[in-house]
Structure 1
């Protein structure tokens, strides 16, 4: 009997979930699927500038798990860029932090909500 997979905490879903060359035809064989938790590691490490340890804490997983997820995500990004394949973000073992009962929203979510409020008012 295998151990159940641990849900990864994800702050937000991507605004778009399909990326690729403008002239690409939608072909299932040329489609690279990136999970939402892989997307989250790219967002946290590369965009937010977090270290793997911080990312692991944010996502509620071990650092070694973040390292594995991050490496898989980078490989998928490279396949999409180098081979001109469409990249689709979907699926994975995740829960949005707004869905959690113990910790309703992470610091990232609160900061984003504050920035959205400022942008709407200003």
Structure 2
């Protein structure tokens, strides 16, 4: 008997961040992976407070299927909290719908192009390592990653130090994530307004190693070393 065909999961939009890093997480412990469809089930049921029937309809799945997805994501989050594991998102088999800009998870449905978790991480650096003076770094490393693999690293001279300039500049370079040792609250908000994720409390290590730890969910940050 042929396996039952998996129905499409309609996702309103992907998470605006790549995951959470547990501060006390051990490097040897694998992170908990949440699929986009699991994130969507949690958002609809717990954040939007929809009944399961309505949430299932939004995702174009049956109510029992929605209940299974919802139960899985709650178990995964509980495991992450109890075992001090980091959480990262994965699209699974996913593509963007050209008509609605939604994500639909399936296994190659309609032969549409699958998406990958692509990141371009901007890191202020000095001599190849993270610079602790974020706003005054002479150059930035832009690290291109796909999934958990570092693809390339390019160095670019930082623009002049002017209020509000860095977030726009990083966005213009294609950056969608910034890793820093410390950053003021106003700067963090400006980056978020430019749809750029911000990770603070990072150690002063090599930029490629830093990016690799981040995309693999093993980056253990400290305190945000800035109070501006």
Scaled to the shorter chain, the TM-score interval is 0.7 to 0.9
Q: How many residues are paired up? A: 102
Equivalent residues in 2 for 1:56-67 (5 A)? 56-67=56-67
Per mean C-alpha deviation after superposition, the further-off stretch among 65-74 and 82-91 is 82-91
Unpaired runs of at least 5, structure 2: 103-228
Q: 1:75 to 1:26 in 2, by over 3 A?
A: same
How large is the RMSD of aligned CA atoms in angstroms?
2.2
Which structure is richer in relative contact order (CA contacts within 8 A, separation 6 or more)?
1
Query: TM-score, length-normalised on structure 1?
Result: 0.73
In 2: Cα distance, 1:5 partner to 1:93 partner: 11
Tell me if structure 2 keeps the 8 A contact 1:7–1:93.
Answer: no
- Give the distance between the partners of 2:63 and 2:53, measured in 1 at CA: 5
2 CA distance for matches of 1:64 and 1:55?
11
Q: How far does residue 4 in structure 1 lie from its aligned partner after superposition?
A: 2.4
**1:17 and 2:51 matched:** no
Cα deviation for residue 105 of structure 1 reads 6.0
Q: TM-score, normalised by structure 2?
A: 0.41
Q: CA deviation at 1:95?
A: 5.0
In structure 2, distance between residues paired with 1:93 and 1:67? 20
Q: Tell me the residue number matched to 1:42.
A: 42
Greater helix content:
1
Residue of structure 1 in register with 2:68 after alignment: 68
As a proportion of its length, which structure holds more strand? Answer: 2
3-state SS of the aligned residue for 1:30?
A: coil
Report which of the two structures shows the higher radius of gyration computed on alpha carbons: 2
Q: SS of 1:92's equivalent?
A: coil
Structure 1: tracts of 5 or more residues without a match: 107-122
